[in-house]
Structure 1
Amino acid sequence: MRFALLQRFRSLILFCVSGGLALFVDIGVLALSRPWLGNYGGRAVSFLAAATFTWLFNRNITFRGPKEGSVLKEYLSYLSSMLVGGAINYGAYAASLQAFEAVRTQPAWGVAIGSLVGLVFNYLSARRIMKGARG
């Protein structure tokens, strides 16, 4: 019974693992780019790095299997879909920067808040794109 339940939620669990790991990519790239690009520009760059990481992880682990079509087309489709989730994510990040002094001091908290808010939309989108790309 437990195994069947885990199998049923395998892709969601792995997607969350991917997102958790991408959070570290996101925070790291933000920390590196923030001195030159500020909180908002640095966040745009860090989001792109994290989205690219999740695409690679999800393509090869979460939704693994045979795929058809162009890898570049799949990547661009994934990124464009993640941009909507990214807008939700970025909006929560920006709102938390405005609302909380703690987030202004430690923007990583805002990254975490944004990541959680965008998770559901991004999972449903990625699942559709990655499973739809299979042969």
Structure 2
Amino acid sequence: MPDALTRLLTRLLGARRAATLLQFLRFGVVGTAGFLVDTAVLYAGLALGLGLYSGRAVSYLAAASTTWALNRAWTFRGAAPAPMARQWALFLALNLVGFAFNYGTYAALVAWVPAVAAAPVLGVAAGALAGMAGNFWLSRRFVFAAAAA
């Protein structure tokens, strides 16, 4: 992130909170890249004859692998080296927990908030934020733990 932003956030939040916020922002940028990969691979799979479900399974693996690699190289670059295959598998497994946060938030809001039931995009957005926050915390705490220090 630009040095001016880092200095400003450090002055406003303190060094530790600023570092965490910047890491979270990088995580969000990586997640956006993952979304683009997910979408592109899904549509490529559909064009090649994969169905909606098998194409989505392939696109999820491609997106999750992309986000793992980018997070390893950029977001959590300070993490201690870990065996790549183990770290990748742990990242995939923990992202399923993030999916549960995402879907759970969406489902709860659709069920209990009439405005969200009428405009489900609000639930999708809230779910995405909940899933991202969950995935960030799990990745930071368990997959790339040394980078959190």
Common fold: TM-score over 0.5: yes
Identity fraction in percent: 37
Is 1:23 the counterpart of 2:35 in the alignment? yes
8 Å contact kept, 2:27–2:75: yes
Moved more, 9-18 or 33-42: 33-42
The match for 2:98 is 85
Displacement of 1:82:
1.3
Q: Specify which structure has the bigger relative contact order, considering alpha-carbon pairs within 8 angstroms and separated by 6 or more residues.
A: 1
8 Å contact kept, 1:34–1:42: yes
- List alignment gaps of at least 5 residues for structure 1: 93-108
Residues matched between the structures, number: 119
The match for 2:132 is 119
TM-score, normalised relative to structure 1: 0.70
Displacement of 1:127:
1.2
The match for 1:98 is none
Amino acid at match of 1:121: G
TM-score, normalised relative to structure 2: 0.64
Higher Cα Rg: structure 1 or 2?
Answer: 2
- When the two chains are superposed, the root-mean-square deviation of aligned CA atoms in Å is 3.1
Q: Matched residues in 2 for 1:88 and 1:30: separation?
A: 23
Amino acid at match of 1:15: F
The match for 1:34 is 46
- List alignment gaps of at least 5 residues for structure 2: 1-6, 107-120
The match for 1:73 is 86
8 Å contact kept, 1:19–1:54: yes
8 Å contact kept, 1:74–1:133: no
Q: Matched residues in 1 for 2:92 and 2:55: separation?
A: 18
3-state SS, counterpart of residue 78 of structure 2 = coil
